[in-house]
Structure 1
């Protein structure tokens, strides 16, 4: 049950042509590099509860820090998108010591991995409470994600306004954003390639 303290991930996503130019602009605007990592996201779904149909997501993410070589895992549950202009949604997250055990639990409950895994290299920048991820996504290209984690739905409009101000600083407008997840883009791409064969 959602309450006023449920974290809400307020986020916009923008396709970009050049990672190098994007990173240079972020650094010029006072953003600091917080880390570089390699992420692999495996999403789960079930015949008895189709998460895609409900615009929800369940995933296990493995993160390798490219500076230290250390790997960690986390479990995420995302709710439906909350508006028509961003990819803001409720997000619950926990760190995993033994992701293999959770994989077995999900399998026992008939939640199975979907065919597409999302693999990307992520450069994370921060300024104040705004986090910017510059992503190189395998099979899709380069993207910019601007995010603020708000505590409760009532904070979403203010968070979105702050993100839109940062977008403007970086030379982007609302019309440049997309609302489709990396997983959905990969699935559509794969479906298109299958139809061509």
Structure 2
């Protein structure tokens, strides 16, 4: 199963973050309009990701809810008929909720830098260090921490949970 080391943080100055990410990646980034439909599952998270004008995929992942770098196992399956799959999974499992966002993706080495504008929540960033075969979690955490510094991410900006969890908590407040 593929794995990564990930961090997620709130963003105060999205323009500055994009400027730094462009510089580090030496690219303009790729803009992706995404809708993630989360389903009720007994452990981990299961979501159907639909990317406007592109592809869809079913993603299962399991990671701890903690601030800072965290190790995550995941599995992805390309989906040809997302509408039908969403209907089937909704009936079988129930929908936990939906996250809609505009993501700008930058690649910095083996790390996916996501600058996310999440509907109803605000601006965030994610780092996903895509682990190479034989690479230790410690190495992945080191890469993530180094990029945090270069991107100006402060420890008090870190969040421990998924966007879906933030949306559910916001609704209940």
Question: What is aligned with 2:8?
Answer: 13
Tell me, yes or no, if structure 1 residue 101 matches structure 2 residue 96: no
2:73 match: 90
Aligned to 1:145, the other structure's residue is in SS state: strand
1:24 has 2:7 as partner: no
**Which whole-Å CA distance do the structure 2 matches of 1:107 and 1:119 have between them?**
17
* Matched residue count: 173
Q: Over residues 34-79 of structure 1, what are the superposed CA-to-partner deviations in whole Å (9 max), with x where a residue is unaligned?
A: 410100000001xxxx53xx3x100101002xxxxx2321100011
Q: Take 2:28 and 2:7, find their aligned partners in 1: how far apart are those partners? A: 19
For residue 22 of structure 1, give the secondary structure of its aligned residue in structure 2: helix
- Quote how far apart the aligned CAs of 1:143 are: 0.5
Q: Could you say which residue in structure 1 is the equivalent of 2:151?
A: 170
1:190 alignment partner in structure 2: 171
| Aligned pairs (5 A) from 1:91-170 | 91-107=74-90, 110-114=92-96, 116-151=97-132, 155-170=136-151
Structure 1 residue 28 displacement after superposition: 3.0
- TM-score, with length taken from structure 1: 0.78
Task: Measure the CA separation in 2 of the matches of 1:177 and 1:31.
Answer: 25
Q: Which has the larger radius of gyration?
A: 1
Tell me if 1:75 matches 2:63. no
Q: 2: distance between equivalents of 1:107 and 1:30?
A: 38
| Contact 1:8/1:156, CA 8 A, preserved across alignment | no
User: 1: CA distance between counterparts of 2:30 and 2:138?
Assistant: 28
Q: Distance in 1 between matches of 2:137 and 2:55?
A: 29
SS at match of 2:86: helix
5+ residue gaps, structure 2, are none
